[in-house]
Amino acid sequence: MSPGTSRWTAVRAFLGRHAYVALAAGALLVLTRTVDFAPPPLVRADPSAHGGAAGPVEVQEFSPELRSPQVMQLRLVLRRYDDPALPVKADDHALDDRGDVLSSPLVTAVVGTEAAVDQKVALEGGDLQVRLGLRATPRLALGGATTLEHTLEVRSERAGWRGHAERPVFVAGGVLGDLDGRGQRWVFAVDDHLFSLDLEAVRPGGPA
């Protein structure tokens, strides 16, 4: 047996008899690194954050910067009302101030090209979720008017449901015409919550 082999055999025997020393040293190293670790300032936790917006968020506005006649901006505004018995109507905005805006995604779509919105809104501490799914394609009709081919799905999901993860609330689709400067509203309820959902559209240079 060579001297090198003999020396390596002795080292392995020593480690076998005193493995606890290596483990203790490793544990001490991990503990030291854990205690000494401090996150960089840019990722330090914000004590004022509570997992969401701190207060009401304004509805996103249509942009006046877009000038191309080949695009259209689409906005979905979801409101939840403070009283589920309110007589909210699909053709009336008189009670909008009684609703909290939960979501207002805004997308820019090129005429003839599909745009999509897929968003979930959590309620009741996350136990209830409402999902909005919009697929929409703006098109120019004769005379320059804009139509919107669309499919809109609203689904709900509650923690603890078995079987289907989501349940349909309503599905709408078809072609909406004369959308420039006005919108389409749906009113619906999920459990004890009353909602309205507005689909609004504007072309740059048209009425906002």
Residue with more model confidence, 37 or 197: 197
Q: Is the pLDDT of residue 142 over 80?
A: no
Q: Is the pLDDT of residue 112 over 80?
A: yes
Q: Which of 125-129, 152-156, 160-164 has the lowest mean pLDDT?
A: 160-164
Residues contacting residue 130 through CB under 8 Å, at least 6 positions apart: 78, 120, 121, 123, 154, 155, 156, 169, 190, 195
Q: Is residue 109 part of a domain?
A: yes
Q: Is residue 198 part of a domain?
A: yes
Q: Is residue 9 part of a domain?
A: no
Could you give the CA distance from residue 202 to residue 72 in angstroms, rounded to a whole number?
A: 6
Q: Is residue 189 part of a domain?
A: yes
50-95 pLDDT, tens digit each: 455 555 666 777 776 777 778 888 899 999 999 999 999 988 899 9
Percent of the chain with pLDDT over 90: 33
Q: Is residue 53 part of a domain?
A: no
Q: Is residue 114 part of a domain?
A: yes
Q: Which of 12-16, 17-21, 100-104, 108-112 has the lowest mean pLDDT?
A: 17-21
Q: Is the pLDDT of residue 25 over 80?
A: no
Could you give the CA distance from residue 144 to residue 208 in angstroms, rounded to a whole number?
A: 17
Residue with more model confidence, 55 or 146: 146
Q: Is the pLDDT of residue 140 over 50?
A: yes
Q: Is 28 helix (H, G, I), strand (E, B) or coil?
A: helix
Could you give the CA distance from residue 78 to residue 59 in angstroms, rounded to a whole number?
A: 10
Q: Is residue 121 part of a domain?
A: yes
Tell me which residue range forms the domain holding 130.
71-202
Q: Is residue 171 part of a domain?
A: yes
Confidence at residue 159, expressed as pLDDT on a 0 to 100 scale: 82
Confidence at residue 8, expressed as pLDDT on a 0 to 100 scale: 54
Confidence at residue 33, expressed as pLDDT on a 0 to 100 scale: 43
Confidence at residue 83, expressed as pLDDT on a 0 to 100 scale: 94
Strands 167-177 and 146-158: antiparallel
Q: Is the pLDDT of residue 13 over 80?
A: no
Please name the residue that has the structure tokens 């409101």: 79
Which whole number is the average pLDDT over 174-193?
Answer: 82
Which whole number is the average pLDDT over 169-194?
Answer: 84
Instruction: 85-89: list long-range contacts, CB under 8 Å, 24+ apart.
Output: 85/194, 86/194, 88/187, 88/194, 88/196, 89/187
In the chain, how many domains are there?
Answer: 1
Confidence at residue 170, expressed as pLDDT on a 0 to 100 scale: 86
User: How high is the mean pLDDT of the chain?
Assistant: 76
Confidence class for position 135, pLDDT limits 50, 70, 90: very high
167-180 pLDDT, tens digit each: 889 899 888 876 65
